[in-house]
A and B are shown apart, each in its own frame.
Chain A
């Protein structure tokens, strides 16, 4: 029996006829050639979020971002003019990686006045200009003005720093479109307390997005996380979203939030009762401006039972805003057709008391328990997809975002291939 209304078309999916309702083929998650095509058609051409402005608090703050999927590494740095810029992390002399510590493959961060290459000491300022060449007189009329760092498009939306390897890409705001516009004004900048998680997961990057873009699995895979009576109830009820919306290539799902706080305290575990927190976050909203009136893009169905909105910014960023006033991001950085680095950031308004900090700790620990179950399941999925015993899978109406993701990826790949012909 349905608990929440569906659109007049009969289903969420049928509102978007281009999606179809047939089984979806998952060859796109196991074929190495397809992965190569995705790298060219998607990751070298779309806007990729690499973090937030708070990571670069002052002049000279920098961090590096490994983009294995695009065969490069980037330097993000805040200049003397306070501008945030992105550069390929490659020295113009003979191609050494410019910024790294002991291990060239590991991301680093810090603060500096300039970048000096470890190899022959060429130096670049914070704006990427070449300022010093060792034994410059040995070169042949070298014009330093022509050997600055190779820059990369870098634009900011609501404090989120995005890069794009395609110099001809449309502006970021235009790319993010309507869906992002609807989130503008949310107090992201107030939520500066961060928990950052990382893992390498043995699955195609899209499979992890699949796992976070539907909650149909939650009452099943995560069954044992709830207290017994509550788990049985959740299993029987299953999952229905309040609302779905596609603004291709992006999409979102809006869900209920009955656990923060729960109607009946017996629904949740003892530690949650004491600390007033859990998977949905601390039950008591932080005291910051901007939470009383939410931007129009949040809780688009204007539902009383609203608990969270999860936005999929194509290709690899999930932004999940929770009703009690915190948010998180997921990023899925492909490293091979069957492997990716998963990164999750939980953002809270700074705790003012130990009690608030303990509530955040519980939310963070709870998140990890869930994510471990998700990550492990994906490796099981990847191995079986590889068997090719079954290739077409029936996706239901609560899996519309998955259907959409795989279609959009397919469209990008096809369009890119057609343009090359």
Chain B
């Protein structure tokens, strides 16, 4: 599912999601423990992942590489709860929502 060098992230494969709506929904549905575990495994590999992906043409990524990129999008999404909020939701955001209806294709 992922490039061999990133096999350590295979257990977090359910964070490989096609769009922001799904990533954000999964974040809201996850516990802090779950997100912390994903973050602790993925964050140390972020720089290495970026370097690896940059060896490919962005819009022609092989499937494993594309999965890695989508996984790193999820890491970006959970970085807020983990690094600052200490909770899945944005504080003081109540019932407010903001849907990403168009996003660039990868």
Contact = CB atoms under 8 A, between A and B. Distances in A.
Contacts of B95: 376
Given A199-B99, A275-B50, A356-B58, 16 more contacts: A193-B104, A195-B100, A196-B102, A197-B100, A198-B99, A199-B96, A269-B84, A270-B83, A274-B47, A342-B98, A351-B58, A351-B104, A354-B53, A366-B80, A372-B98, A376-B94
B43 A355 contact: no
A89 interface: no
B84 A225 contact: yes
Contacts of B93: 372-373, 375-376
A373 B90 contact: yes
A198 B98 contact: yes
Interface stretch (A160-168, A235-243, A357-365): A357-365
B53 A195 contact: no
Contacts of B96: 199, 201, 372-373, 375-376, 379
B33 interface: no
Contacts of A352: 58
B90 to A, nearest CB: 5
16 contacts: A196-B103, A221-B92, A269-B79, A269-B83, A270-B83, A271-B76, A350-B104, A358-B69, A358-B72, A358-B73, A360-B104, A366-B80, A372-B93, A373-B91, A376-B94, A379-B96
A353 interface: yes
Contacts of B80: 365-366, 369
B84 to A, nearest CB: 6
Interface in A328-360: 342, 344, 348, 350-358, 360
Contacts of A355: 50-51, 53-54
Interface size class of A (residues with CB under 8 A): 35 or more
Given A224-B85, A269-B83, A274-B46, A365 B77 contact: yes
Contacts, number: 120
Contacts of B79: 269-271, 362
B32 interface: no
A278 to B, nearest CB: 11
Contacts of A270: 43, 79, 83
A376 B51 CA distance: 38
A362 B58 CA distance: 17
A232 to B, nearest CB: 14
A197 B98 contact: yes
Interface in B26-55: 43, 46-47, 50-51, 53-54
Contacts of B85: 224
A173 interface: no
Contacts of B20: 364-365
B49 to A, nearest CB: 8
9 tightest Cβ-Cβ pairs between the two chains A and B: A354-B53, A196-B102, A376-B96, A372-B93, A271-B79, A375-B96, A355-B50, A376-B94, A199-B98
Nearest to A200: B97
Contacts of B17: none
B9 interface: no
Given A225-B84, A270-B83, A358-B73, A198 B61 contact: no
A194 interface: yes
A229 to B, nearest CB: 13
B7 interface: no
A358 B76 contact: yes
B25 interface: no
Given A195-B103, A195-B104, A358-B72, A275 B46 contact: yes
A368 interface: yes
A225 B83 CA distance: 9
Given A270-B83, A275-B46, A197 B76 contact: no
A198 B75 CA distance: 23
Contacts of B75: 271
